[in-house]
Structure 1
Amino acid sequence: MKPTNGQAIIQLFETWSPKKLMAMEQDPIGLAIGTLNKAVTKVLVTLDVTDEVVDEAIAAGCELIIAHHPPIFRKLAHIRTDTPQGKLYEKLIKNDLAVYAAHTNLDVAEGGVNDLLAEALQLQNIGILTPTYTEQLFKLAVYIPREHALKLRVALAQIGAGQMGAYDSCSFQTSGEGRFRALDHAQPFVGTVGDIHMEPEEKVEVVIPQPLINKALRMMKQNHPYEEVAYDLYALATPAKQYGIGRIGLLAEPMTLAQFGAHVKKAFHVPTVRAVGDLHAIVRKVAVLGGSGDSYVSKAKYAGADVFVTGDISFHIAQDAEATGLSLIDPGHHIEAIMKQGVANKMTVLCTEHKMAVEFIPSNLSTEPFKFI
């Protein structure tokens, strides 16, 4: 394992949960406090950054905190250390603790908060509730001498080109003949300066997402013997990959709303839930969204959900949902704490694959402000 710093860890994190996936404009994601230009051996993963959580990170010897909820949500007019929030920032800075926030980008990311919630509910045929980001697909077609084609295909596959759904290393290859003449200042790999040359070549085609274009072009040139590479790159009309907020899926077996409420309590380890709708109604199709889902109730109804699981449902929104026949289960905002173990697990795998000696520690503290009596 090689020593690493905070910047390398976050760069790796953002390959999974990039900032471009944020579902809300001006969402304060990214580095909130401190610096990433330092060695990091331990990272605390938390839902919220509270005074107790900071103490936990210090006691564990962490240099970095990855949080879901940003510790600074609105612009600050000042930092007064005689206020609770100011004291929190002071403690972080004095103990050289950096805080990185992954908010709605982690909600949207594959394997992020909403996927973790859907999996905890044991949903099947899981899809996106509301698309928020579409990734454009491109086709790269490159012409290469026949004996070099396999090496190029393997190199492109290793960086993620040719990923199509549940398949990777996808490409297409056709044979042909390249024709060219090298001019006086050229250094041709094959052929003679001044003479027309014809070379048996292969046309290798792969699909690549837009973020991989520059990397794919670099890899293509590194694994191509010609000093001038002939290639085509064009956008596809094929439906591109979508990301989004919330998830929707099916229960393995239908159950009543009352039974489903008990299922939610068990899945998210909460003592109680609020329910809207007929407790005897049968539910099968479930929408779920971590955090506050008031503004997504109509989306859940439109998607055909029988019940919508989300937090912070307001009184009038609940009435409106009930009138449309959509059932609601509100287990609270804090169910997003599922991300602590999920992020720790994911980042442990990624860092191990990249030979980074970093320990990810899910916070043991509950930041749920509500007590149930």
Structure 2
Amino acid sequence: MKKTNGQEIIQLFESWSPKKLAAMDNDPIGLHVGNLNKPVTKVLVTLDVNDVVVDEAIAAGCELIIAHHPPIFRKLSTLRTDTPQGQLFEKLIKNDIAVYAAHTNLDVAEGGVNDLLAEALGLQNYEVLVPTYSEEMFKLAVFVPVEHADQLRETLAKAGAGQIGNYDSCSYTLQGEGRFRALAGATPYTGEVGELHVEQEVKIEVVVPKSIKSKVLRAMLNSHPYEEPAYDVIPLDTTAKEMGLGRIGKLPSSMTLKQFAEHVKVSLQVPAVRVVGDLSSTVSKIAVLGGDGNKYIHAAKRAGADVYVTGDMYFHVAQDAEAIGLQIVDPGHHVESVMKVGVANKMQNLCQLQKLNCEFIPSKISTEPFQFV
């Protein structure tokens, strides 16, 4: 495996959790401390960055920390090393440890916080609860000689074109005749300069999300045998799969609210939960949203959830949920720590596929400030 640096690690991370997915305006995501232009052999993955977590990173020999909660959430007016926050940043800088934060983009991303929570709860056929991001789609239609069609289809698929839902390499092909005359100065792949030429061609059509349109066009042009390929790029009314906050799905089998609350405790490894609702009622459709989900009780109710699992539920919001008939299980904000192992495993697998030599370590430190007595 080749040596790698911080830039390569974050490029790989952002390939599945890009900044554009951030669901909050001015979300302070990205590099917070240090720089990424350096060799990285070990990365600590953590929910929060505090003094004990930094000590853990130092002891493990990590050059980079990937955190879910941004350590600098609001702009700093000063950076004094006689304050706890200033001392934390001083320790990071002196030990040459960079900190990168992925906040609501990691909540939204496929394989991110909310998918991990839904999987931990055993939800089946779950979908996005609150859509926050969809992408404009285009259709690329390109004309190519018959004998080059298979190669071009493969090139387009490798560049990411032709993905529809859970299917990839989707394309449509129509055969016909292409006519052209090469003028003086041209170097035609087929035909002669000055002569009208007829070529058996196929028209290949694929769908392309806006985010990779330029990449797909470059790949197509580099692979195409013609000096001047003929192609169309047409905007579509349809959008790519919606992404967003929270997930909603079904339990494998119904249970009472009391049983489900116990299931949440065990699945998310918390000592206690707060519950709103009739403990004897039967529940099967579950909404879950990591972190503070107070804003989305009505979204959960509209989606048909029997129970909404989220943290930091306010007293009056809990009363509002009760009034609309939505039951609540609040396991606390810290359940987002499910991302530590999930992100570490995903990044380790991606690095191995890319032959990057880097170890990802899920933090063993609990940053839960609350105790139950």
Give me the whole-angstrom Cα distance separating, in 1, the residues matched to 2:160 and 2:100: 27
Q: Which residue of 2 aligns with 1:158?
A: 158
Q: Which residue of 2 aligns with 1:252?
A: 252
Pairing of 1:1-373 with structure 2 (within 5 A): 1-373=1-373
Task: Calculate the TM-score normalised by the size of structure 1.
Answer: 0.99
**Mapped contact 1:4–1:356 kept (Cα < 8 A):** yes
Q: What secondary structure, in the 3-state scheme, does the structure 2 residue paired with 1:100 have?
A: strand
Give me the whole-angstrom Cα distance separating, in 2, the residues matched to 1:77 and 1:268: 37
For residues 12-55 of structure 1, the C-alpha deviation after alignment (integer angstroms, 9 at most, x for no partner) is 10010000000000000011111000010100000000000000
For residues 238-261 of structure 1, the C-alpha deviation after alignment (integer angstroms, 9 at most, x for no partner) is 343211000001111111110000
CA drift at 1:237: 1.7
Unpaired runs of at least 5, structure 2: none
Q: What secondary structure, in the 3-state scheme, does the structure 1 residue paired with 2:15 have?
A: helix
**Mapped contact 1:137–1:241 kept (Cα < 8 A):** no
Equivalent residue pairs, number:
373
- 1:145 maps to a residue whose letter is P
**Mapped contact 2:134–2:239 kept (Cα < 8 A):** no
**Mapped contact 1:307–1:327 kept (Cα < 8 A):** yes
Which runs of 4 or more aligned residues in structure 1 lie more than 4 Å from their structure 2 counterparts after TM superposition? none
Give me the whole-angstrom Cα distance separating, in 2, the residues matched to 1:90 and 1:227: 57
CA drift at 1:117: 0.3
For residues 303-352 of structure 1, the C-alpha deviation after alignment (integer angstroms, 9 at most, x for no partner) is 11111000000100111111111100000000000000000011011111
Give me the whole-angstrom Cα distance separating, in 2, the residues matched to 1:135 and 1:250: 27
**Mapped contact 1:140–1:234 kept (Cα < 8 A):** yes
**Mapped contact 2:135–2:239 kept (Cα < 8 A):** no
**Mapped contact 1:136–1:241 kept (Cα < 8 A):** no
CA drift at 1:301: 1.0
- 1:102 maps to a residue whose letter is A
Give me the whole-angstrom Cα distance separating, in 2, the residues matched to 1:170 and 1:302: 34
Task: Calculate the TM-score normalised by the size of structure 2.
Answer: 0.99
CA drift at 1:209: 1.1
- 1:329 maps to a residue whose letter is V
- 1:289 maps to a residue whose letter is L
Instruction: Indicate the RMSD between aligned Cα atoms, in angstroms.
Output: 0.8
CA drift at 1:158: 1.4
Give me the whole-angstrom Cα distance separating, in 2, the residues matched to 1:295 and 1:337: 21
CA drift at 1:296: 0.9
